Structure 1
Amino acid sequence: MKKIILFACSLAIFSQACNGVLDEEVVSSVTPEYYQTTTGFEDAVKASYEPLRTWYGTQRGFTLTVFGTDTYTKGADGDYKYVNDYTPNLNSQVDYIRDLWNDFYRAINTTNTVIDRAPSIPLDEALKAIRVGEARFLRAHYYFVLVQTYGPLHLALKETTEVQTTASRSPVKDVYDVIVSDLESAIAVLPVKPNDYGRASKPAAEHLLAKVLLTRASIPEAAKPDDNQRTADLAKGVIANYGLALLPNFAAVFDQGNQQHSEVVWAVQYTQDLITNGTGNSGHLYFLMEYDAGHKGTQRDIANGRPFKRFKPTLYTLDLFDRTKDSRYNGSFKQVFYANNPATLAPGMKLGDTAIWVAPTNISAEFKATKNYEIIDRAAVLTPGNYRYFPSLSKFLDPLRPSVQHEPGSRDFMVARLAETYLIAAEALYKVGNIDEAVQHINAVRRRAAMPGKELEMEITADQLNMDFILDERARELLGEMDRWFDLVRTGTLVERVKKYNPDGAPNIQPFHVLRPIPNDQIDRTEGGVASFPQNPGY
């Protein structure tokens, strides 16, 4: 199946600009009437996907979801350390906070255009229903990210065709009602396997609805009594009904040569086409330590990546894994760099020898267990205490980039994968008191993560299961995958866990940090200002 190829352009707030995406033909200088045509309508649907690329696999997305949690703190470089440290610089004028708001409301207006104009479009009714289902799925997705990030929102459910200066913040309950309604409508019409890989599907919508209901269940003013049970039922249905399956090997999930595998529920598409890839998936940049300067025998290359040193795993993260039986430490982290620079080899070192070994936290035990004493002795043995040196997350490495300095990566970003579906089911089952079945779902993920022959040792029993364990398991499995800040907010543990595990964020984090500030320009451009569109408390 073809991928959806998305251009860095979409339907603007006044319905002025769009392009074709499947045939890679750029359409420009169009009028609103274009979207009354069948071709224009299809292009508007495709344009509804484009803003996903402003979030997934971007420094903005990682900064607002991974940084400042229990799993990741600040590395050596980067301009957004205050997001991790929760200082007053984390305020309503931060560009990432402003641009997320603006880009996703732009996206919502595009989906509204599709939904509003669909009745008059001359298109096969069954296909039209699917396209509207895609728009509702995407609108729900955009609102879900926004409501988790900012709290009460302005609900815009009709196409905007002229300047509006009035806005208000609807209660979180009302926003979730819209999200749930959109997803229920989408589930009713979306196909199990779309003709074009990357479009919204029925299992993707069910996975997202399960996650939405799990989140809503944690909000007293919005929760419905059956939210957790519905979450469990939806997640179990995704696992059982669509031929999806966990890959046998954890590391294989992130094999760039096999991105359309059985564990992918839904992914945002990127491409090696330099014309259509835009800023690409740049996740390969931010989680890498400095391996290319000041070390004998090393230099920057494509395979090892361009190290921006932005995000460093906390000691909590490095201690999460039992490295004697859990493959996810080695499957998640790059710890060894081999000599690739003939000009700077250490005495006795050859090309291909170990040049750098990044030790985990219990360095003495690991060092004593190392069989290659001579190689390690010649290498730089680094510990994770330095902001420049730390085990590098390997999930987003992109050796297919055309050059060492090239930033726009081509790796797809998995927004929903089946291992998380299992963990969503486990959390919901735990919350409704079905502990044994919750354990079964946790153990399915842990058995897959086991080193060969260690499957039974990786299983847990009912007495070991609690919310801390669930959060730890989500960290082990989904590390860096743009879930963590939302996970901690959902479970009411953000402040507690940052104080406990993130020494840089601990001194400053406050209860109000469970929401981001409303962008200042949104308040300024609203008639009545802060009285009509109030700022979140604390900012």
Structure 2
Amino acid sequence: MKKYISSILLALVLCSACSESFLDETPQNFESAEQTYKTTKGFNAALNGLQAYSRLEFETWNDNIVSQGACAYEVLQGGLDICYINNVDGTLQPFQKYTFDATNSYISNRWKWAYGLITNANMMINYAEKGDVVWSKDTDKQFFQANARFFRAYAYRYLTYLYGDVPWVDKVEEEYRVDFPRTPKAEVLAKMIEDLEFAAQYLPENPNNVKDGELTKWAALHMLSEISIFAGDYKKAETTALEVINSSYFQLMNTRFGKNSSQPGDPFADMFLEKNQNRKAGNMESIWVVQAEYNVQGGSTTYNDWTRRAWVGAYYSIPGFIISQEYGGRGLGQIRPIQHWLDSYEAKDMRNSIYNIRREYVYNDPKNTALFGKKHTITEDNMDRGYVFPTTTKFDYMPENDETYNGNQKDKMRFRLAETYLLLAEAYIKDNQIAKATDAINKVRARAGATLATQADVNIDYLLDERVRELLGEEMRRFTLVRTGKLIERTKKYNSKSASTIKDQHVLWPIPQGVIDSNSGLKWENNPGYN
């Protein structure tokens, strides 16, 4: 999908969020929509636009409608059981100290992005139902609606995890509304499941026959397994996860591949090297990859993703260091893993290798002859400043021609098979099938070369521990903790900087105050604890 972006459609998808109303369904460029949604070619352009809008998921400083400040991604990771928030960006501190409220900009922009994506998905779904569309193939209508329904479910995934009960909207409103009711979360989840079942039925099956970044039925089934767990339907979650696992299209990567495969490294690290995310690069573990490649038409921009700045430290701020690829490029160290998790790996665990976790820093500025080549001693103060700390290398990134570049423009694995196994294990645990859960977890641990779990080991906390070791930084950790009901307990247990301030109310975020004010025709009470 990254090779084709319509500038007309990009303007179209962005216009949907231009009103102060959180659900302004009246497209500001209505004539362009009417002209676009007439043929398969027009729907293809619209789908490219929908993909482009979805990539604004973690948009940072920029001048578009969903600009979110520097830390849109970090608020779903920091202040929880996996990482501390460093003293780098003051806008993040409310998510460690739990002082955020209904006026917080990150909270409101997450809502804005999600409903913008829903609006544009609904446009595609609704226009496909019109009788005057000229389709190139009989299957085109279902194909485009399947893509749109996947993205609608993806947007509601954010909304249900973060805010609980939210308005279900499935059509483009012809008149401006200020009286949307909040739909109970259980009903929203049921509708998401319907969307994902439809998507799985009509999206392409063979991932070898689609372009990089395009959706297949397996992406829909992977997310369907997760949402089914959230909805309490563990049998459906098991069945759908097993469909993906048994499809024969995917495998856990346990041999070297792709870029730098002839150089020192390991299969786990290979998956996170630039240009190694997609199937065509030899990555058979990827199920859905967001296209964000550097300097490619239709890829992301400087501001779409700053995950590198989150996990990579500002080591170059210390005399004796210069920016280098060896240490991940130009980071800011906004968040850092809690030491407990770095200590939880066995020495033989592949995920614990020097290629996957950076624990040591050696002064690398040859101009500083007094320090060059010597090992740096990490201090608590330097960790708090975000300078140097043990961290994952998954988000290392530095363009060869621009070492101070802000963004992290390599393609991103959103869903991969290792997580499918862990979702299957989660469903089995919830379904009291511990033996099967143990087997699923051990598929992941065997690839890592770690000691296999026993049935006596396995419970929901063991599963959550294993998700950290495998998926640190990839999963939206807040979602996982909400789904498993463990957010408060585990944050208190593992995060000493947030333990004293987190409260039961913080399982959900508040509804943005601007949303409540705009929906003036139907008064809402905010989520408990935020009134």
**Common fold by TM > 0.5:** yes
Secondary structure at 1:343 match in 2: coil
Query: Is 1:272 matched with 2:294?
Result: yes
2:462 paired residue number: 469
**Of residues 200, 203, 214 in structure 1, which corresponds to 2:218?**
203
Q: How does 1:420-435 map to 2 (within 5 A)?
A: 420-435=419-434
Secondary structure at 2:275 match in 1: coil
Cα 1:384–1:476 shift into 2, 3 Å: farther
In the aligned structure 1, how far is the partner of 2:106 from the partner of 2:365? 38
In the aligned structure 2, how far is the partner of 1:111 from the partner of 1:61? 22
108-117 or 298-307, which deviates more:
298-307
Query: Is 1:244 matched with 2:254?
Result: no
In the aligned structure 1, how far is the partner of 2:384 from the partner of 2:344? 20
1:139 paired residue number: 152
In the aligned structure 2, how far is the partner of 1:242 from the partner of 1:65? 33
Shift of 1:184: 0.8
What's the CA shift string for 1:30-71, capped at 9, x where partnerless? 354332344332222222222322225865442231111111
Secondary structure at 1:480 match in 2: coil
Shift of 1:426: 0.9
Q: Which runs of 5+ in 2 are unaligned?
A: 17-25, 61-69, 255-266
Cα 1:83–1:229 shift into 2, 3 Å: farther
**Of residues 120, 125, 129 in structure 1, which corresponds to 2:138?**
125
Query: Which AA in structure 1 matches 2:213?
Result: G
Q: Which runs of 5+ in 1 are unaligned?
A: 19-28, 218-226, 354-377
In the aligned structure 2, how far is the partner of 1:286 from the partner of 1:234? 33
Q: Is the 8 A contact 1:10 1:48 kept in 2?
A: no
Q: Is the 8 A contact 1:4 1:198 kept in 2?
A: no
Query: Which AA in structure 1 matches 2:220?
Result: A
Query: Is 1:512 matched with 2:525?
Result: no
In the aligned structure 2, how far is the partner of 1:313 from the partner of 1:2? 32
Question: RMSD of the alignment, in Å?
Answer: 2.4
Query: Which AA in structure 1 matches 2:27?
Result: S
What's the CA shift string for 1:141-179, capped at 9, x where partnerless? 111111111110111100134422221101111101110
Cα 1:74–1:6 shift into 2, 3 Å: farther
2:411 paired residue number: 412
Query: Is 1:15 matched with 2:14?
Result: no
Shift of 1:391: 1.0
In the aligned structure 2, how far is the partner of 1:3 from the partner of 1:447? 37
In the aligned structure 2, how far is the partner of 1:103 from the partner of 1:161? 21
In the aligned structure 1, how far is the partner of 2:507 from the partner of 2:401? 40
Query: Is 1:45 matched with 2:41?
Result: no
Shift of 1:306: 1.1
Query: Which AA in structure 1 matches 2:376?
Result: A
TM-score, normalised by the number of residues in structure 1: 0.84
Shift of 1:387: 1.0
In the aligned structure 2, how far is the partner of 1:91 from the partner of 1:2? 37
In the aligned structure 1, how far is the partner of 2:228 from the partner of 2:403? 43
What's the CA shift string for 1:374-396, capped at 9, x where partnerless? xxxx3222155731331132101
Shift of 1:495: 0.9
Q: How does 1:64-103 map to 2 (within 5 A)?
A: 64-88=75-99, 90-103=100-113
Query: Which AA in structure 1 matches 2:226?
Result: K
Query: Which AA in structure 2 matches 1:414?
Result: M
Shift of 1:299: 1.0
Secondary structure at 1:39 match in 2: helix
Q: How does 1:369-448 map to 2 (within 5 A)?
A: 378-383=374-379, 386-388=383-385, 389-400=388-399, 402-448=401-447
Q: Is the 8 A contact 1:154 1:169 kept in 2?
A: yes
Shift of 1:329: 5.3
What's the CA shift string for 1:445-475, capped at 9, x where partnerless? 011112xxxx5xx111111111111110001
Percent identity of equivalent pairs: 29
Q: Is the 8 A contact 2:268 2:350 kept in 1?
A: no
1:362 paired residue number: none
What's the CA shift string for 1:248-286, capped at 9, x where partnerless? 122122121312111111021112227642223321111
Query: Is 1:258 matched with 2:276?
Result: yes
Cα 1:488–1:292 shift into 2, 3 Å: same
Shift of 1:315: 2.5
1:370 paired residue number: none
In the aligned structure 2, how far is the partner of 1:45 from the partner of 1:472? 37
Query: Which AA in structure 2 matches 1:536?
Result: N
Q: Is the 8 A contact 1:190 1:202 kept in 2?
A: yes
Q: How does 1:490-505 map to 2 (within 5 A)?
A: 490-505=483-498
In the aligned structure 1, how far is the partner of 2:50 from the partner of 2:87? 36
2:448 paired residue number: 449
Cα 1:471–1:75 shift into 2, 3 Å: same
In the aligned structure 1, how far is the partner of 2:59 from the partner of 2:411? 8
1:154 paired residue number: 167
In the aligned structure 2, how far is the partner of 1:439 from the partner of 1:256? 33
The alignment covers a number of residue pairs equal to: 482
1:55 paired residue number: 57
Cα 1:9–1:73 shift into 2, 3 Å: farther
In the aligned structure 2, how far is the partner of 1:4 from the partner of 1:538? 46
Q: Is the 8 A contact 1:4 1:196 kept in 2?
A: no
Shift of 1:311: 0.2
Cα 1:99–1:472 shift into 2, 3 Å: same
2:528 paired residue number: 537
1:171 paired residue number: 184
Cα 1:6–1:256 shift into 2, 3 Å: farther
Secondary structure at 1:342 match in 2: coil
In the aligned structure 1, how far is the partner of 2:36 from the partner of 2:249? 39
1:367 paired residue number: none
Q: Is the 8 A contact 2:2 2:291 kept in 1?
A: no
Cα 1:61–1:330 shift into 2, 3 Å: farther
Q: Is the 8 A contact 1:73 1:84 kept in 2?
A: no
In the aligned structure 1, how far is the partner of 2:350 from the partner of 2:277? 23
1:307 paired residue number: 331
In the aligned structure 2, how far is the partner of 1:518 from the partner of 1:104? 13
In the TM superposition, structure 1's runs of 4+ consecutive aligned residues that sit over 6 Å from their partners are: none
**Of residues 473, 479, 493 in structure 2, which corresponds to 1:480?**
473
In the aligned structure 2, how far is the partner of 1:516 from the partner of 1:441? 32
